[in-house]
Amino acid sequence: MRFVTAPHEPFDYQVYVDLLPAFGHDLKLKVEGFNFAGSLKLRAAAGLVAAAEQSGRLDDDSILIESSSGNLGLALAMIAASKGLRFVCVTDPRCNRSTLNLLRSLGAELVVVTDPDPKGGYLQTRLDYVRARCAEDSRYLWPNQYANPANWIAHYETTAPEIAKDFPDLDLLFVGVGTGGTATGCAKYFRDNGDEVKVIAIDAVGSVSFGGEAGQRSIPGLGASVAPPLLEPELFADVVHVAEEDTVRCCRELARGGFLFGGSTGTVLSGALRWLDGQDSGWRPRAVAIAPDLADRYADTVYDDDWVAERFGPATPALQRNLVAEHG
């Protein structure tokens, strides 16, 4: 039996989904949604706050402020509430409604920017707002998930070692890229420990993280409209870009098997399966993909037929296959 006194205290919730029966690949999905924040971002948030405390920058008068499309903001709001701190979450219209409601319930101050920067999109507008608030009042403390090494260090010290311990014969690790913290931390860990694990980065179509052309994205989480400073592209054996339609399709395919995962997980798994499908059929690598989130915060988007039809059209395979499963 384990007792915790704060929502960000670590505890053992390691679960993997074996995808071999469903997809024919020796691929395990590391589920990161079974914590009080409901996503992988709790690891980064805890690391960012701990680093601020250790440096002496965080005190009782501090006001945490961060730019987030949802999950990192929610994790920080949870930690701030448990520590009696004020927290300002700067987000944009893509943030899921359920996440906004949870942020309010935790006492966070919400700022939703509505004017995307012509070059850097909503992310650049959010970052500009955070910098302005910090310049106005010295009490504001910006953990800066985009450039703070504490982000990738959290995964270097926890996420990657857990995977290495559970799979000593691992060949491939598929990791989604948002701020780059998870992917960078895991890739550095396997590099520094002499493992021959290939880390494959999964990014969203329309993201500029690996030098691609910026494009419109509706699903928050992975991808970026401003190149993430933490990301080191040379660490990765390959990069796969996933269209949002494929994200929706993958989420709904998992749902037909009874597994409800979030948009970031759908993106990671879609990219991993496409990469594995493209390899020599004689090679049977042992692989793990990190599933950052569960489905609850995507009920109004990825799992809503009207939302999907509005963005991708009623004839998309994602919607058609779902209807076939229900009425076929």
Based on the domain organization, do 127 and 257 belong to the same domain? no
**C-alpha–C-alpha distance, residues 219 and 221, integer Å:** 7
Q: List per-block mean pLDDT (blocks of 10 residues) for the chain, which spans 328 residues.
A: 80 87 95 93 96 94 94 96 96 90 96 93 94 96 96 97 96 96 97 92 94 85 87 96 95 94 96 94 91 93 92 63 41
Q: Is residue 147 one of the residues assigned to a domain? A: no
Its domain, for residue 214, covers: 15-31+152-316
Q: Hey, which residues does 289 pair with through a beta bridge?
A: 29, 174
**138: Cβ contacts below 8 Å, ≥ 6 apart:** none
Number of independent structural domains in the chain:
2
Based on the domain organization, do 27 and 98 belong to the same domain? no
State the pTM of this model: 0.91
Q: Where are the beta strands (DSSP E) in the chain?
A: 15-18, 27-31, 63-67, 86-91, 109-112, 140-141, 172-176, 198-204, 238-242, 287-291
Residue ending a domain, choose from 141, 173, 204 = 141
Output the domain CATH number for residue 258. 3.40.50.1100
Torsions phi, psi of 250, nearest 5? -70, -40
Based on the domain organization, do 291 and 240 belong to the same domain? yes
Q: Which two tokens stand for residue 285?
A: 């690598």
Q: Is residue 1 one of the residues assigned to a domain? A: no
Based on the domain organization, do 161 and 78 belong to the same domain? no
Secondary structure (DSSP) of 146-167: TT-HHHHHHIIIIIHHHHHHH-
Based on the domain organization, do 101 and 137 belong to the same domain? yes
Which amino acid, 214?
A
Based on the domain organization, do 160 and 294 belong to the same domain? yes
Based on the domain organization, do 63 and 136 belong to the same domain? yes
Q: Is residue 323 one of the residues assigned to a domain? A: no
**4: Cβ contacts below 8 Å, ≥ 6 apart:** 11
pLDDT of amino acid 323: 39
